[in-house]
Chains A and B, each alone.
Chain A
Amino acid sequence: QVQLQESGPGLVRPSGTLSLTCAVSGDSISSHNWWSWVRQPPGKGLEWIGEISQSGNTNYNPSLKSRVTISVDDSKNQFSLKLTSVAATDTAVYYCARRDPAFPFENWGQGTPVTVSS
């Protein structure tokens, strides 16, 4: 059974960098899957941020591409999100998720809330 768990600071200062990690259990980060980040602002819908494959290929949402980096740490079986130059509009619950190729997001973390505020 695949499990994902997000971790990271719950408060980030404006113009700072948001950094989150997703620990994966029950599957190898090196398996033939895509590992994604999705966020949800308070009271709003879901927004896909980006994803990374086992080989390190990345796809990013064009609306965030200039500020986003997703990376993988095979040794720790986890992947990470960095979002730079954050503003209040980046306040959201951030989820990590897993999908098989040509398949939707099947496994999700529980989500971690991040607030951007001074």
Chain B
Amino acid sequence: ETVLTQSPATLSVSPGERATLSCRASQSVSSNLAWYQQKPGQAPRLLIYDASTRATGIPARFSGSGSGTEFTLTISSLQSEDFAVYYCHQYNKWPPWTFGQGTKVEIK
């Protein structure tokens, strides 16, 4: 099983500031890494796939980078609607498909 470890668990950021979230895989997942945003009471929403490609309708302030075992999600200038929990997900090797434990981005 490919274990994904996200850091930090919680990130406190002021609106307008930059947020950088990390995801480390226990083995290479190539570029088969996605990022999701989840708000309370809602389903996850796909933000980034193939490590760096924004999904349809996702604002340009969201960007992803990395390959192999180290990945980063950057939110360039946090808006009020961006405070949420973010999960990384690998779809390179199954079973099983796996998710990170999440990073909560909260208002500082």
Contacts and interface: CB of A to CB of B under 8 A. Distances in A.
Interface of A: 36, 45-48, 59-63, 95, 99, 102-106, 108-111
A63 B95 CA distance: 10
Contacts of B45: 108
A109 B45 CA distance: 11
B79 to A, nearest CB: 22
Interface in B64-108: 87, 89, 91, 94-102
A60 B94 CA distance: 9
Interface string B28-43: 0000101000000011
Interface of B: 1, 32, 34, 42-46, 49, 55, 87, 89, 91, 94-102
B72 to A, nearest CB: 17
Contacts of A105: 34, 44, 46, 89
A108 B87 CA distance: 15
Contact of B44 (A46, A102, A103): A46
- Secondary structure call for the B interface: loop
Contact of A109 (B34, B43, B49, B99): B43
Nearest to B96: A61
A45 B102 CA distance: 7
Nearest to B46: A106
A50 to B, nearest CB: 8
A99 B95 CA distance: 15
20 contacts: A45-B100, A45-B101, A46-B44, A46-B87, A46-B89, A48-B96, A48-B98, A59-B95, A61-B95, A62-B1, A62-B95, A95-B43, A99-B91, A102-B32, A102-B91, A104-B49, A105-B44, A106-B46, A106-B55, A110-B42
Find the residue from B1, B94, B100 having the highest chain A CB count within 10 A.
Answer: B94
Nearest to B97: A48
Contacts of B55: 106
